[in-house]
Amino acid sequence: MSTALLPVAAISGDAIRSGLAPLCAALGPADSTLERFPLLLRDLATGWLPEPWRWIVNSLLAIVVVFVAFALLFALLTLAERKLVARVQNRPGPNRTGIPLTQIRLGGLGQPFADGIKMLTKEDLVPRDADRVLHFLAPVALLAFSILAFAVIPYGRHLVPVELDAAVLYFFAAGAATELAVFMAGWASRNKYSLLAAMRALAQLISYELPLLLSVVPVVLVAGTLSTTGIVERQGAWHFGFLPAWHVFTPWGFAGFLLFFVAALAEANRSPFDLPEAESELIAGHLTEYSGFKYALFFMAEYFGMCALSGMAVTLFLGGWQAPLPFLEFLPSYGWFALKLLALLAGFMWIRATFPRLRIDQLTRLAWKFLVPLALINLGTAAFWSLTAHWTGPLQLLRWAVALTLVIGPFVGLGRRLSAGTAPRTYRYA
């Protein structure tokens, strides 16, 4: 922990602290006013309540804050995504919608809200033969399950809505429940295309559940805990004073991060794995019979899922709310978490702007023949890494060499074997 920049953190919180002096004590970055600022706000709002009521109001407040924050992020992400993809395609993207009835455009910042109003005012169609209850419940359940996953992500040093010992397990259990909602949507529409698409979506989601989970197991193995706060705290040190001890900077962690990221792309229905709802090929997959606000809810759930998985990737591999360098600790922990989250989300968008969609057979082949074996081997690498944690001196080099071989070797070998005869592709008539 750096103490050199402590005054910065302390001064910046001076104005706030003047009224709250007894509540806080600026001891270090971990306890500075800025760091505890969200907690102070919360205490200000609920401190007057009697003790038995306070915890339940606090929990409800946390739910509201997380929901509102991510709903706003969803609105801005849709715009950011359109802008980023447009820039990649040499267009400026949406930049006209500003404040209504004025000429103020704000670079198109009003677009998501205009879209929201449009979605709300659209007619809500339900097919005559559809199961009305399930048809209504599917988007609600999907959104509910997606929000559940936000409960265990540590957004900052003191900011985790629910402290669970089995947080990682809970996260993936809640995430897997979204598959039920997807099938509900397909089944309740009473449309054979919806049903088929839901089955395909299910096949994809279940296939990628496996590499997603297997790429997380090494983290649990090395960290020795299923608690997300515990995992983040294990990553809070620096090798040689500058290299953060994040899992992504170890051979197995890097491989695990990539595996997790690819599987997360598929789990979140993101391009290039967006087959369930391939907007340029299918009508809308399992969303065919949905319109208006229910359709918007599905989209919201997709973005929530993307945010939750990115948040989990940040927590597991990118050091959570830890600052990358000691002297950068003046930025509060939740600021670092937000920065890392946004960077990962930008990565999702970058990938969407770059790669064409996979075919369903390529998709499942990638999961079962490539990602799952690599994830299993990665588990072995992580086991080796944690067994050799006490090696020092030249043995340290040996440890890195063995781990790197275990990561790169299977990747190259398996890649060659799988792409034998298919790559590099030549274009004879192009």
Least distance (Å) from other proteins to the CB of residue 402?
Answer: 20
Instruction: Using alpha carbons only, give the angle 86, 258, 251 rounded to the nearest 5 degrees.
Output: 140
Q: Determine the 3-state secondary structure of 26 from DSSP.
A: coil
Q: Judged by CB under 8 A, which stretch of 137-145, 236-244, 399-407, 410-418 contacts other proteins?
A: 410-418
Q: Judged by CB under 8 A, which stretch of 114-122, 174-182, 208-216, 348-356 contacts other proteins?
A: 348-356
The site string for other proteins over 79-118 (x = CB under 8 A, - otherwise) reads -----x--xxxxxx--x-----------------------
Least distance (Å) from other proteins to the CB of residue 89?
Answer: 7
Binders of other proteins among 353-372, rule CB under 8 A? 353-355
The site string for other proteins over 43-82 (x = CB under 8 A, - otherwise) reads ----------------------------------------
Buried (b) or exposed (e) across 194-223, using 16+ Cβ within 10 A?
Answer: bbebbbbbbbbbebbbbbbbbbbbbbbebb
DSSP per residue, 45-108:
HHTTS-HHHHHHHHHHHHHHHHHHHHHHHHHHHHHHHHHHHHHHTT---S----STTSS--GGG
> What is the rounded CA–CA span in Å between residue 274 and residue 265?
8
Residue type, 376: L
Q: Determine the 3-state secondary structure of 276 from DSSP.
A: coil
Tokens read off for 145: 């399950």
Least distance (Å) from other proteins to the CB of residue 30?
Answer: 37
User: Between residues 3 and 419, which has the closer beta carbon with respect to other proteins?
Assistant: 419
User: Between residues 268 and 366, which has the closer beta carbon with respect to other proteins?
Assistant: 366
User: For residue 243, what is the enclosing H or E element?
Assistant: strand 243-244
* Residue of the chain from 119, 237, 351, 379 that contacts other proteins (CB under 8 A): 351
Q: Judged by CB under 8 A, which stretch of 9-17, 122-130, 151-159, 413-421 contacts other proteins?
A: 413-421
Unique residue bearing structure tokens 């706000």? 41
Rg (CA), the chain: 24
Q: Considering CB under 8 A, how many residues would be counted as binding other proteins?
A: 21
Tokens read off for 77: 């992400």
> What is the rounded CA–CA span in Å between residue 359 and residue 368?
14
Q: Judged by CB under 8 A, which stretch of 135-143, 300-308, 327-335, 419-427 contacts other proteins?
A: 419-427
Q: Determine the 3-state secondary structure of 28 from DSSP.
A: coil
User: Between residues 19 and 415, which has the closer beta carbon with respect to other proteins?
Assistant: 415
Least distance (Å) from other proteins to the CB of residue 404?
Answer: 14
Q: Judged by CB under 8 A, which stretch of 229-237, 244-252, 276-284, 414-422 contacts other proteins?
A: 414-422
Unique residue bearing structure tokens 């005559």? 128
User: Between residues 173 and 412, which has the closer beta carbon with respect to other proteins?
Assistant: 412
Least distance (Å) from other proteins to the CB of residue 265?
Answer: 12
Least distance (Å) from other proteins to the CB of residue 389?
Answer: 29
Question: Is 419 one of the binding residues for other proteins (CB under 8 A)?
Answer: yes
User: For residue 244, what is the enclosing H or E element?
Assistant: strand 243-244
Residue 282 · residue 197 · CB < 8 Å? yes
Residues that bind other proteins (CB under 8 A): 84, 87-92, 95, 350-351, 353-355, 411-412, 415-416, 418-419, 423-424
